[in-house]
Amino acid sequence: MGIPQVSETVERLWNGWELRMVMLLSLYLQIFLILFGRRRKYTAGFWIGKLVWLAYLSADWVATFSLGILAQKIGDSNRGSIPAFWAPVLLVHLGGPDTITAYSMEDNELWLRHQLVLVSQVVVAFYAFTRSWWGKDPLLFVAIPIFVAGIIKYGERNWVLRSASSEQYRNSVYSEMNELDSKFDKFSNSEFFEMTDERLVREVDLNGIITEATFLHEADLFFQMYRVLYADLVLGDSIHLATHIILRKKSAMQAFELIEVEMGFMYDVLYTKLAKVRKSRVIFRASIFLCFVSALLAFSLGISKNNHAYSTAEITISYLLLYGAIVIEIYSVVLLLFSDWAMLWLTGKRKPLFDSVYRTICSSGFLSFLQHDKRWESTMAQHNLISFQRSKAKLTSISLKKLLGKSNIQSSKVVGADLKKFIFQHLLDKRTRYNLRMRSHDPGSNDLHEILSERGDEVFGREESLENFVWSVKFPDFNESLLAWHIATDICYHDDVRINGGNAKIIHQNTETSIELSNYMVYLLVDYPFLLPRGIGKERYSQTCSAVDDHAELLDRIISVQPFSWYESAITFDIEKSTRKVSALWAGVKLAKSLQALGTQDGWGNERKWKIISEVWVEMLTYAASHCGWKEHAQTLTRGGELLSHVCLLMAHLGLSEQCLTTSRLD
């Protein structure tokens, strides 16, 4: 067979299967998105995120491309008979699955563009439909219910995008903020502090809720507050006093669980069609499902009477498209029925029958399967500057991950119960220093701003012997303090291991906490600097890395297990004279020397030293959390959520946020 014959064969196959393949590809992308689109909610998996991103971008393009081909081919007698309902099926695909309407927050701001696309694609689909009319498609009527389903589904997606856009979201939250104010504003601060548990439960409308579901309704109350904060509005004293009283009675694990549910609610509102169970949504879901079932029945009956209308391939693909659409709708309904939103609605009825249904659902294995790890993985990524720089020279291969710019994560650590307890107790202690009952009527004496500005200086202020460490947390650029403490923490750890004879297992709990928080904060600086206070963090990190390379041999001696004297003048002088102007290496080495000297003072030791270091790191974590915008925190929801965002929400619900409005009503 010659080249011309091969070319003609390929062209014939392409013309015959081009439309069929893109139709099947469009269906596959919809199935992939509904199965994996929701995984971003609770996992920070790199490949899952990239594959969902690729599928999300491809789905609309493939559906639009297919619709264009259909508009050209359908009704053309030379092309064979193509089912008329394929065009509105693509309109359904453009509506997208319930589990992902927006990949990022920027997609919500483009709702007007999607509205224009909706109108244009409906016109194209209608044009294809009319071409089928001219072609006398015997099953033309099958397209009508699918056309209705497509308009509903795509229109619903556009409405969700519009609702999550900044301007529309802020407008909708005003009424919710007023409702919250009216619910709590009748109480003075002193009344809240003296309120009994029974009265508080009654006032926040939690009475009659079964014990097993109380956390869902508390999370919903917190979520109402979160919505207001996310819209950059302020809340009165009484509202965050209520959430503070609820939180202070919780264990650390319970408090973090509340935040996880609350962040799940926000993720659903910003990035999916899954939200509060409403009558309109139930009607939409039922209508779409009935449209597809009726279309399937009509097609099956029509094929039995007109079995020569379409080719076998067209019939097979048609059945796949219809059955696929029905399965997707059933799966969407199941997800909604077993979601936190549905459980919230069910137990909110406060009726024995509904409560029994909730208990039955919760005890079923099916629910456990659907809700497996659905909230937060409780992990934090790790990046150690010195070890990363030392290992880079040893890399001989370039991975795809590195090419995509995501090779900075060296490992992940579990945010365990001990760390959660340590962070939560620190926040409670910080809250006791901001006592609303003791606040002066003079707004200038309100010390909340001062408390939120602490980076570790409060830790050093407790003892006179630590005053000479204040310089390390008072750099104008927060990132310099972060890097200096990161380097010092790493050096202190290796020095302690050397002192212990090279046994890295003999470390205190506070040592592990310090190292994990230190590596986590530097990971944020490298990969997500927008989550940290403004500064020249990237440039400072880059020059610090260069300084580490310049002094690699000296640093090897510092962090090796061989005997070494901290006061070797050659080392300190060489590092101090570094030409890297914004490098934090010298500050880190200087700080490490002071910390190690501190551990040998009278009344001190490694355990006490590492306790101080861990407290400084928690202070830095809380400082960064409170100085990051809510929009930036919301962006982290698409990769499973960050520990930093959880801490920020805990602080806000404890009243440790400058968006918590203070008043002079202290009666």
pLDDT, residue 578, reads: 57
**pLDDT above 50 for 665:** no
DSSP H or E segment with residue 443: none
Over residues 533-583, the pLDDT tens digits come to 988 888 899 999 888 888 777 777 766 655 555 545 445 545 555 556 778
Token digits for 96? 């997208």
Over residues 230-278, the pLDDT tens digits come to 888 887 767 777 888 888 889 999 999 999 999 999 999 999 988 876 7
Over residues 123-148, the pLDDT tens digits come to 888 887 777 766 566 778 888 899 99
With cut-offs at 50, 70 and 90, classify the pLDDT of residue 173: confident
DSSP symbol at 601? S
Over residues 618-651, the pLDDT tens digits come to 999 999 999 988 888 998 888 888 999 999 999 9
Residues 382 and 413 sit within 8 Å (Cβ to Cβ): yes
Specify the higher pLDDT residue, 624 or 17: 624
| Mean pLDDT, range 281-297, rounded to an integer | 89
Per-range mean pLDDT, top range of 372-386, 424-438, 506-520 = 506-520
CB proximity list for 612: less than 8 A, separation 6 or greater: 459, 466, 598
Specify the higher pLDDT residue, 355 or 514: 514
**3-class DSSP string for 538-600:** HHHHHHHHHHHHHCHHHHHHHCCCCCCCCCCHHHHHHHHCCCCCCCCHHHHHHHHHHHHHHCC
User: Average per-residue pLDDT in the chain?
Assistant: 81
What whole-number distance in Å separates Cα of residue 46 and Cα of residue 526?
16
pLDDT, residue 134, reads: 63
Residues 401 and 627 sit within 8 Å (Cβ to Cβ): no
**pLDDT above 70 for 505:** no
pLDDT, residue 509, reads: 81
Specify the higher pLDDT residue, 651 or 205: 651
pLDDT, residue 8, reads: 54
With cut-offs at 50, 70 and 90, classify the pLDDT of residue 503: low
Distances (CA, A) of 659 to 186, 242, 243, 432: 20, 15, 14, 18
pLDDT, residue 443, reads: 45
Specify the higher pLDDT residue, 584 or 405: 584
| Mean pLDDT, range 586-599, rounded to an integer | 86
DSSP secondary structure of 57-81: HHHHHHHHHHHHHHHHHTT-GGG--
DSSP symbol at 382? E
Over residues 393-412, the pLDDT tens digits come to 554 444 555 555 556 888 88
The percent of residues in the chain predicted with pLDDT above 70, rounded, is 80
**pLDDT above 60 for 372:** no
Which has the minimum average pLDDT: 64-68, 134-138, 527-531?
Answer: 134-138
b/e for 534-570, b at 16 or more Cβ within 10 A? ebebeebbebbbbbbebbeebbeebbeeeeeeeeeee
Give 3-state DSSP helix, strand, coil % of the chain, rounded to 5: 70, 0, 25
End-to-end CA distance of the chain: 96
Specify the higher pLDDT residue, 505 or 104: 104
Token digits for 172? 């909708």
DSSP secondary structure of 453-522: T-SSHHHHHT-GGGGGGGGGG--SSHHHHHHHHHHHHHHHHHHHHHHTTT-TT---HHHHHHHHHHHHHH
CA torsion through residues 276, 280, 285, 286, sign: positive
Specify the higher pLDDT residue, 500 or 127: 127
pLDDT, residue 664, reads: 39
**pLDDT above 50 for 444:** no
Specify the higher pLDDT residue, 438 or 301: 301
**pLDDT above 60 for 5:** no
DSSP H or E segment with residue 413: strand 411-414
DSSP symbol at 253? H
Q: What is the pTM assigned to this prediction?
A: 0.89
| Mean pLDDT, range 204-209, rounded to an integer | 80
pLDDT, residue 437, reads: 43
Per-range mean pLDDT, top range of 68-72, 305-309, 372-376, 474-478 = 474-478
Specify the higher pLDDT residue, 304 or 357: 357
**pLDDT above 60 for 438:** no
DSSP H or E segment with residue 379: strand 379-382
pLDDT, residue 663, reads: 45
**pLDDT above 80 for 293:** yes
Residues 469 and 590 sit within 8 Å (Cβ to Cβ): no
